[in-house]
Amino acid sequence: MTAAFTELRQQVIWTRLISVVEEQAQTLMRTAFSTTVRDAGDLSAALFDLDGRLIAEAVTGTPGHVNSMASGVRHFLDKFPVATMVPGDHFITNDPWLTAGHLHDVTVISPAFHGGTVVGLFGVCCHQVDIGGLGQGPDGRSIFEEGLQIPLLKLASAGKLNEDLLAILCQNVRTPLQVKGDVLSYVTSNEKAAQRLSAMLAEFGLDDLRDVAEYIVEQSLSATRAQIASLPQGQWSSQLVIDGYDKPVTLVATLTIDGERVSMDYTGTDPCLPRGINVVLNYCRAYTVFGLRCIISPEVPNNYGALLPFEVTAPEGSILNVQRPWPVAARHVIGQMLPDLVFGCLSQAIPDPVPAEGSSCLWSVQLRGSMPAGNALAGESFDAIFFNSGGSGARPVQDGLSATAFPSGVRAMPVEVTESTAPIVIWRKELLPDSGGIGERRGGLGQTVEVGMRDGSAFEVLAMFERVERPARGRDGGGDGSNGSVRLASGKPLRAKGLQAIPVGDRLVLDVPGGAGLGNPRARAPQRIEEDISEGYVTRERAVADYGWKSSSA
């Protein structure tokens, strides 16, 4: 075999491995019970080599999990050495500090065998809606209040499920059958992937993945390094003050691009809080590297080599590197702001490809109330959750996307589905005119959401919203995005975080924030301004005041 042909084969196998993990992810979505996995795609699926290096990862998935699991697998290997594994073994944890940053994310790792020996490890990491405890809000005062903690454990030994563990799990959650069904679906998808991998090795006449893994890592590493080498070298800082829980939180980032490496350090960031918006370093790294890779190396497939040149550090005990046993359940509130910090640094180094700040934090509306009279479950309490997104930041040559999640990868559920599962009525979900930051490129629009009980009874909201006090900031002359707003339909403002009541006959109104603008608004093409007016994205008054638009028909 010539060297060229060998490389050809390795590329074909690489393509195949990405297909195998995509199949793994699809199997998971098909069989899962949690809405977060099946509808919203809040999951990741991946293949690791025997050193715990990420080799291939499914395209389907969300950034928060991806890079978190990448660093988590070696913890499994430390505790359960490869040499001790037998077919039918599966391992589990939801330790926030080892994997994806809160108890709701459960990771299952399974060895893949070929010819009697372990050749790789398949892993899935999925968001469970229910893990016991208080539920996914910021109100827990420590990890112990947030739900069941599963340390690194065997989920199955030689094909025999760990029934003791499953019994404890089922006893600790509100919906035991669904949670158990979910955990079993993780096993199914890893097993299917392992079969596929073994068949692939047979087809290509290989005994193991060693050479291919090396090739994938090397190729991705050198491609990423080449991209980094083309960047200006130096150090840049940015700062972002966010609403926080009850007082502002300051996040400080310093980016260093140095030859073949990119480092992000969060020294100067505020300390952690006794509220569950703290971020573990793994999760901090996940969203930071996601933001960096979106700009620096978006085309390189995600794996150990593609991630290696990126280093993320944060002071121990800061809100971006929280230690046990501080609470972490709603860590996405801060985690999803990190790409904006990344963009803040990168825009000083390479302004061209970098977007402005966006609304960033997903507005996930969690409601609690009582089932109405006449219903079979009258008087019992219910929980409902639905996702809403604000505007993304203006992009270098395009406007920001309106009401679209970034950096989160989740999808919103249909209003009709939400209303058929809970006694609520969503009265409005409509784009908010003038909410996009002004600029040559306009920020994406936010949206207004109005919701109440169908019978007008009282209910509660578990608020965890951001950018209410401090909007997404414009750049290079572009304006800020609109602030978010949380209030009663009758007018009274509500807090952006924490449990609050909506009284009888009233409704909850949310203005989800807009994205920020980029560049001088006076440089915006008149045609774009007129389109915005005709679509109702920008009102005539604002067009005149902000963009200097002169009506040709006036």
* Token output for 481: 């995005």
DSSP 434: T
Residues 272-291, interacting with another protein (CB under 8 A)? none
Q: Answer yes or no whether residue 440 interacts with another protein by CB under 8 A.
A: no
Site size for another protein (CB under 8 A): 92
**CA 2 – CA 7 distance, rounded (Å):** 9
Residue 539 binds to another protein (criterion: CB under 8 A): no
**Phi, psi (deg, nearest 5) at residue 121:** -130, 130
Selected from 534, 552, 553, 554, the binder of another protein by CB under 8 A is 534
By CB under 8 A, is residue 431 in contact with another protein?
yes
The answer to the question of residue 519 lying near another protein (CB under 8 A) is no
Write down the least CB distance from residue 221 to another protein, Å: 10
User: Among residue numbers 303 through 342, which ones bind another protein (CB under 8 A)?
Assistant: 306
Is 487 a binder of another protein (CB under 8 A)?
Answer: no
Q: Pick the stretch among 163-171, 238-246, 422-430, 498-506 that binds another protein (CB under 8 A).
A: 422-430
483: contact with another protein by CB under 8 A: no
Rounded least distance, CB 31 to another protein, Å:
5
- Please give the span between the terminal C-alpha atoms of the chain, in angstroms, as a whole number: 76
**Residue 15 binds to another protein (criterion: CB under 8 A):** yes
Q: Is 122 in the site for another protein (CB under 8 A)?
A: no
Which of 174, 210, 454, 540 is in the footprint of another protein by CB under 8 A? Answer: 454
Contacts of 342 (CB under 8 A, 6+ apart): 253, 255, 264, 288, 291, 292, 295
Under the binding rule (CB under 8 A), the answer on residue 536 touching another protein is yes
C-alpha 94: how far from its chain's center?
16
Single-letter residue type at 462: L
295 binds another protein (CB under 8 A): yes
Q: Are strands 485-488 and 508-512 parallel, antiparallel or unpaired?
A: antiparallel
Please report, as residue ranges, which positions from 178 to 237 form the binding site for another protein (by CB under 8 A). 178, 181, 184-185, 188, 199, 203, 219-220, 222-223, 227
Cross-sheet strand order for the sheet of 234-242: 234-242, 249-258, 261-265, 310-313
Which is nearer to another protein, 40 or 242 (by Cβ)? 40
Question: Which CB atom, from 87 or from 372, has the smaller least distance to another protein?
Answer: 372
| Binding pattern for the stretch 352-371 against another protein, x by CB under 8 A and - elsewhere | -x-x----------------
- The answer to whether the Cα torsion of 283, 189, 183, 76 is positive or negative is negative
**Binding residues among 379-418 for another protein as defined by CB under 8 A:** 387-389, 395, 397-398, 401-406, 409-412, 414-417
Question: Based on C-alpha coordinates, what's the Rg of the chain?
Answer: 24
Binding residues among 99-118 for another protein as defined by CB under 8 A: none
Among 86, 158, 168, 177, binds another protein (CB under 8 A): 177
Contact between 19 and another protein (CB under 8 A)? Answer: yes
Binding characters for another protein, 30-69, by CB under 8 A (x = yes): xxxxxx-xxx-------------------x-xxx------
Residue 157 found at the interface with another protein (CB under 8 A): no
Please name the residues in contact with 51: beta carbons below 8 A apart, sequence gap of 6 or more.
74, 77
User: What number of other Cβ atoms are within 10 A of residue 510's Cβ?
Assistant: 27
* Residue 535 CB, nearest approach to another protein (Å): 4
Gap between the Cα atoms of 398 and 524, Å rounded? 11
516 vs 164: CA distance, rounded Å: 51
Q: For the CA atoms of 466, 470, 474, 479, what is the dihedral angle to 10 degrees?
A: 110
Strand ranges inside 58-161, DSSP E: 90-93, 105-114, 117-127, 153-157, 160-161
Task: Work out how close the CB of 26 gets to another protein at its nearest, in angstroms, rounded to a whole number.
Answer: 5
